[in-house]
Amino acid sequence: MRDTWILTAQCPSRIGTVDVVTRYLREQGCYITELSSFDDRLSGRFFIRAEFRPQTEQGALSEDFDASAFEENLITRAADFDMDVSLSAPDERMKVVIMVSRSDHCLNDLLYRHRIGQLPMDITAVVSNHPDMAPLAEWHGLPYHHFPITPDTKAEQEAQIWQVVQETGAELVILARYMQVLSSDMCEKLSGRAINIHHSLLPGFKGARPYHQAYDKGVKLVGATAHYINDDLDEGPIITQGVETVDHAHYPEDLIAKGRDIECLTLSRGVRYHLERRVFLHDRRTVVFGN
């Protein structure tokens, strides 16, 4: 079990931003196990993330750490910096809803990583516009919601999805190859808390059978992008990307297989970064303190 707390903060760029955080941690008897910071000189914005362990004077793990007082006092200390501060406990697990259509590779990968403890989250439901993934969700003991969709029922179907998100208290929605375009209203509701995965091919191949299109063009790279959703299709703030080389010996089925592997790895990495509070949304971009 992790015993480290996670502190994230951001503020306008100013002298002393790192010091106000690290000095406070030292004064509170906290041992920093990981520290990342970034100053964006173009926007004049500073970002910092620290993992730390509250310790006694003898160096043992402190059992009487007062998180509320710690956070309140830090906010007061950093008020002159206009610093936004967030503190996450070691055992804090984000509630997650996963959405999927008929391709099961990303869903299966996420469920496996969750089962072995690699992704610190509580999956509250699996939602799909098809019934195909119900047995997989049932095997993992997860509620499965089948909400069919047609062009005429899109609004009603999204209302059902939103109801599941609200009733389960989900803080994150993962689109694990959910092959429906979300409405502008749904994108706004899920802004900053919905992660999508899609293939990354150059040139950009849209529509049906993208890997067959890529094969016809003789592509030499295939990849995937995990990003937050927004109202621009597949153009939301990027969290992480994966890429591998291919050559003339890769037939369409080989490209598809390699693409699936990259999608699984890229999505799980993006989700983990989000769960571990490593991602800061910064306008249309992200600041990501990967490890």
Name the token pair of 80: 């002159």
Catalytic residue, chosen from 104, 234, 254, 261, is: 234
| Token pair belonging to 73 | 């006092």
Residues forming a β-bridge with 38 = 47
Q: Kindly report the number of other CB atoms within 10 A of residue 284's CB atom.
A: 12
Name the burial class of residue 27, with classes exposed (0-12), middle (13-18) and buried (19+) by CB atoms within 10 angstroms of its CB.
exposed
Cβ-in-10-Å burial (0-12, 13-18, 19+) of 201 comes to: buried
Does 247 participate in catalysis according to the annotation?
Answer: no
> Strands 172-175 and 144-146, how do they pair?
unpaired
Q: Is residue 9 packed enough to be buried (19+ CB in 10 Å), middle (13-18) or exposed (0-12)?
A: buried
Query: CA 44, CA 41: separation in Å to the nearest integer?
Result: 5
264 token code pair: 């699984």
Helix, strand, coil share (%) of the chain residues, nearest 5: 35, 30, 35
- What's the CA gap between 13 and 42, in Å, rounded? 10
E strand or H helix that includes residue 263 = helix 252-275
User: What are the residue numbers of the active site?
Assistant: 234
